[in-house]
Chains A and B, each alone.
Chain A
C-alpha cells in the first residue's frame, strides 16, 4: 500500500511539473514567438491633440494721422489693447482669437505718404516705408477732410497689408480717447474680418475635424469649391481639339503661362509647390451632344448637362504619373465644325459671358469658338492662333476660386483695391495662410488621432520604428504649429503645419500597417486548437483530479478529527 501511495504521489508531482513547464516555458515561448512588434507611440500627447484648442492671434496697428486726434488725446497714445474672443465649435474643439491692437500716431514720413493724391499711390508709398510681417495689419485713420478716398467710401483696402479708414465727423467731437476708440472699433473689426481671418473661414477650414453644418446651400458650395490643402498641386492645361481635320490650333501656352499664371504662383509659393504642364488632346468629345437652339442660332450646353460633359474627356486627360498631388485641370475646348458655335447656358437659360464653367475641386473648362474663321470658301484645315489673353483671364479667375482665394463682396462703404499684376493681394495671401494653417492642423490632428485609435483597437498591427518616428515628428510639428499660431507667426505656423500633415499622412498610409491586419482571431484559434486541446485537456483533467483528491483528503481528516 505504501508503494502505491508513493507511486500516486509521483504521478501527481509529474502532472504538476508538466503543468508548471507548460505555464512557465510554453506560454511565454508561445507569447514571444507570436508577439507583434509595436513601437512606442506618444499616446498621451495624441490624446491631448484630440482636444484641440486653437489660439489665433493677429497684430493690428492703428495709426492716427494728423488731424484725427486732439492734442490731449494724443498724449495718451501709444497704447496697446488686447481683445479675446472665444468660440466653442464642438465639445472637442475650441477656438480663441486674440487681436493685439497697438495705437500710435503717424510718423512724418507716413504723413507725407498719406498726402499723395490717390489712395493707390498712398498705399504703395506706405508699403515702401515699412513692410509689415506676414499676418499683421496696419490701419491708418485719416481725417474726414482727406481727399484720398471718394465721397461715399469710408474704408480703403490696399494691395498690401494696409487699410485706410476715414474718421467721420461725429466721432471726434470733444471726446476722450477711449470714446474715440470705442467709436472706431466696429469699423476696425470689419476691416479685420475682410483682411484677416474671419470665424466662418476658420470653421470651414476645420471641416475635416468638425462636421460642418452650414446654414444654406450657398455656403456648402463655397466651402466645397476650393481644393483641400495639400503640399503641392499640379496644374494641367489641356487644349481639346476634337476635329483636327478642320482646325489646326496654335496656342502659345509657354508664353501665356509665364506671363499670366507664374506671377500668381510665385506669390503663392509659401502655401504649396506648384508644377505646371500642358498637353494637346485630339479627338476628345464631350460627353453631351450639344443641342441646336434656333433662337440663338448656335449650339448650347445647359447647366444641367454640364455634369456629364467631363467624363469621357477625363479618361483621356491622364493622371500625373510623377506625383500624387491633386491635379487642377483647365481645359480649352474648341468645338468641332458641326457643333459650332457652342455656348454655355446657365440655370436661367442665359448665355454665360465667359463661356466657361468650373467644377469644385476638379478644374475648369472653357469653350472657345472659332466659327468666325469659316468663310464661304475657306480651305480646311483652318489655322487658328488662340488669343491667350482671353483664355488665361478665365483660367486665372478659375484658379483663384479653386485655390480658395475668395473674392468676397466687401461690406458697404468699403473699396477694395484691384489686385496687381500678381493677381493676389498680400492680405488675400494672409487670409489663405490663416485658413490653410488651421485646415492643415485640423487634418493632421484627425489623421493622427484616428491612426492612434486604429492601432489601439487592432492589436495585430505591427508598428515599426519608422512609423513611430513619423507619428512623433507629426505630433511635435503640430505642437509647434499651434504654438506659432498662438504668438502670431503665421509663416512658421504654416510651415510646421505642412510638415505635420506630411508626416501624419506618411505614417497613416505606410504599407507595413496593412500586413497582419486581416488575420482574425477565430482563424488563429482554428490553427491552435488541434495542437493545444490534446495537450491541455489531460493536464486540466489531472489537475482537477489532484484538486478533488486533496479536497477529499481534507474532508477525511476533518471527519477523523471529529
Chain B
C-alpha cells in the first residue's frame, strides 16, 4: 500500500514539471506563430505586387473627355458660367480670415515660454439643412465633425509635462497634463451620450490620440465650472461633457495632424518653427484646439465660427548644454522665419519685455521700435512686436532669427543628460562660495525597475553611485612656489601650482548606495507550485481518506524479544 502511494506521489511530481513545461512551451511558441503569420502575410503581399505590374500599366489613365457628354451639359448653363478672367479688384470678400501669432516670454526661472496661437474665423452656419459644404481656410475634417455631431463648442488639449506655476507664473491658456476634452452640444442632440461616444472615436482618429478610451467611467457633466466660452448663454449642463485622460502621452503623431489643420501647414508662416524633434525636447508642451462661435461685430448681430489652435511650450535653457545664456529662434526651433503665411491677415511675433524696460537684463537683436501693451492675467505688460507681414522685419538677409542675449553671467553650469544603458549623467557647476556658508546641491531622481537580466546576483544590496568631486583653489597662508621643476619632496609636488597665493584641493564625497526596487523573480513559478501543491495535498488526502481502508496492524515485537523467542524456540520453550 505504501509503495502504491509513493508511486502516486511521483506521478504528481512528474505532472507538475510537465505543466511547467507546457507553460514554458507556450511562451516560446507564440512568437514563432506570430512570425509565421508575418511571413504568410509577406508572401501574400508579394503575390499582390507580382500581380500588380500587369495592372499598373493601366492604373493611371489619361481622361478622355467625351465632348458630346459634357459640352452638351455645359451648353445648358453657358449663360451663367463666367469666362476665366483676371479678377478685377472687386473680388468678393472672403468669408473667412486667418491670423497667427507667437508670444515669447523669458521666465523668472531662466526658461523661455513660447506660445503660438492660430485663429481661423469663418462666417458660416454648419447646421444648415443642405449638407454640401465648401471649405477654404477652415479644415474640412473639423467642419464635418461640427456639422455631423451638432457641436456648439469643442475644446481639446494635449499636454506633456506639468505647468509649474510657482516658477513660471500663469500660462496664457492653461491645460491639465494628458488629454482633456470638453464639448457643448447643440440643443437639437437627442442622445448626448451616444453622440459623445462617437465624437470621441472620430476625434481620436483625427488627432491620433487614445481619446477612444473616454467612456462613461471618466466622463462628467460639470454644472458650474465649464460654461461655454463662446456666445450663447446655455445653462442646461446636460449638453456638456467633460473628460480627461491623464495618462495620454503627447508626441509627434499628435502634432502632425494638428499642423495639418493649419491652412499653410508647416510650409510657411510661424508654423515652420514647429519641428517636432525640438518641440518635444522641452520641459512643457501643450497643444490645443478650441472651436466656438463668436460675435462678428460689436453688437453681435451675426456670429461666426472660431477655430483657435494654440501651442505652448517651455524650453529649458540649461538642458541643451549651453555655456552662455543666450537664446535665439534658431537655437530653440532649429529654424528661422522667412515669411508670413500668405493667407494670414495678420502675422505677429511678440516678446515680453515688461521686466526689461531699459534693456538691463537682456538685449534683443534685431531690435524693433514697435511696442505694444496688453492687459493679460490682471497685469499690464509691454511687448516688442515684429510684424511678419512687413518686408522690413526680415532685413537684408531675408530671414528673422530673433536673438535674446542675457547680460549678467552667473557662473557656469555644464550638464549632460544620461542615456539609458549608454552613458551616465554629468553635472558640473562652477560656484563661488561665500565664506562660512553651507551650500547644498540636491539631485532628484526616480527609482526605476531594471530589466530582469540586469540585476546583480544580490540585488537587495543596492546600487552604488560614484563619489561627487569638489575641485577647488583654496587660499594659502604661506606663499607657494610656482616653479614645478624645483627640487621638492615628492608628496608635495603632485598638483602643479599656478598661483602663489592658493593651492589646489580635490575632495571626494562618500559614494551613495541606492536601493532600487527588486522584483520577486520567482513569482510565476511559486504561483504554479503553490496552487498545484494545495490542490494535490488537499484533494489527495481527502480522496485517500475516503477510498482507502485503514486497519490496525500488530506492532512489531522488539529486537530483544525476538532474540529471546529464537532462544526459547531452540530451547523448546513456548515463545513469549
Contact = CB atoms under 8 A, between A and B. Distances in A.
Nearest to B137: A280
Contacts of B134: 253-254, 277-279
A321 B202 CA distance: 6
Given A250-B87, A321-B145, A534 B536 contact: yes
A356 B59 CA distance: 14
Interface stretch (B50-58, B433-441, B505-513): B50-58
Given A321-B202, A419-B69, A352 B62 contact: yes
A353 B70 CA distance: 14
13 contacts: A15-B547, A236-B140, A279-B136, A321-B141, A322-B145, A353-B65, A354-B63, A358-B61, A383-B91, A389-B81, A397-B63, A397-B64, A534-B532
A182 to B, nearest CB: 35
A522 B27 CA distance: 11
A360 B61 CA distance: 8
A360 B408 CA distance: 66
Interface stretch (A255-263, A461-469, A485-493): A255-263
A276 B132 contact: yes
A386 B84 contact: yes
Interface in B76-126: 76-78, 80-87, 91-92
A150 interface: no
B543 interface: yes
Interface string B1-33: 000000010011001101100110010000000
A404 to B, nearest CB: 15
B528 interface: yes
B164 to A, nearest CB: 36
B74 interface: yes
A316 B547 contact: no
Contacts of A320: 141, 144
B11 A537 contact: yes
Given A253-B134, A279-B135, A384-B84, A538 B540 contact: yes
Contact of B63 (A357, A382, A534, A535): A357
Interface string B129-168: 0011111110111101101100000000000000000000
B72 interface: yes
A220 interface: yes
Nearest to A238: B140
Interface stretch (B216-224, B258-266, B515-523): B258-266
A306 B57 CA distance: 11
A523 B26 contact: yes
A465 to B, nearest CB: 20
Nearest to A416: B68
B12 A534 contact: yes
Interface string A421-459: 101000000000000000000000000000000000000
B364 interface: no
A181 to B, nearest CB: 34
B439 to A, nearest CB: 54
A133 interface: no
A212 to B, nearest CB: 13
B492 interface: no
Contacts of B86: 373, 382-385
A530 B65 contact: no
Contacts of B469: none
A139 to B, nearest CB: 23
Interface residues of A, number: 101
Nearest to B82: A385
A277 B135 contact: yes
Given A322-B202, A538-B8, 9 more contacts: A11-B549, A279-B134, A279-B135, A322-B148, A346-B62, A398-B63, A419-B69, A420-B72, A531-B535
B77 A259 contact: yes
B363 to A, nearest CB: 33
A353 B205 CA distance: 40
Give the one of A14, A390, A530, A537 with max B CB within 10 A: A530
Contacts of B48: none
A526 B83 contact: no
Contact of B19 (A245, A420, A530): A530
A321 B203 CA distance: 8
B343 A244 contact: yes
A541 B10 CA distance: 13
A552 to B, nearest CB: 16
Give the one of B23, B82, B339 with max A CB within 10 A: B82
Contacts of A397: 63-66, 69-70
Interface string B255-298: 00000100111011000000000000000000000000000000
A282 B142 CA distance: 17
Interface stretch (A2-10, A29-37, A100-108, A193-201): A2-10
Contacts of A509: none
A7 B549 contact: yes
B531 interface: yes
A418 B70 contact: no
A421 B78 CA distance: 12
B85 A385 contact: yes
Interface in A505-540: 522-523, 525-526, 529-531, 533-535, 537-539
Contacts of A353: 64-65
B87 A217 contact: no
Contacts of A225: 61
B397 interface: no
Given A11-B548, A276-B132, A387-B81, A357 B72 contact: no
Contacts of A319: 141, 205
A381 to B, nearest CB: 7
A356 B62 contact: yes
A357 B148 contact: no
B194 interface: no
B147 to A, nearest CB: 8
A27 B465 CA distance: 59
A364 to B, nearest CB: 6
Contact of A283 (B78, B80, B140, B265): B265
Contacts of B148: 321-323
Contact of B547 (A14, A277, A323, A535): A14
Contact of A396 (B70, B263, B265, B549): B70
Nearest to B147: A322
A419 B55 CA distance: 31
Contacts of B532: 530, 534
A277 B546 contact: no
Contact of B260 (A250, A318, A352): A318
A393 B70 contact: yes
A541 B4 CA distance: 10
B82 A252 contact: yes
A423 B73 contact: yes
Interface string B530-559: 011001100110011011111100000000
A232 B98 CA distance: 34
A7 to B, nearest CB: 3
Contacts of A364: 63
A153 to B, nearest CB: 15
Given A260-B73, A384-B84, A530 B547 contact: no
Given A387-B84, A418-B72, A354 B59 contact: no
Contacts of B62: 303, 344, 346, 352, 354, 356-357
B475 interface: no
A396 B81 CA distance: 16
A538 B81 CA distance: 93
Nearest to A389: B81
A538 B549 CA distance: 15
Nearest to B537: A534
A398 to B, nearest CB: 5
Contacts of A12: 547
B61 A221 contact: yes
Contact of A393 (B65, B133, B544): B65
Contacts of A483: none
B43 interface: no
A531 B534 CA distance: 10
A406 to B, nearest CB: 12
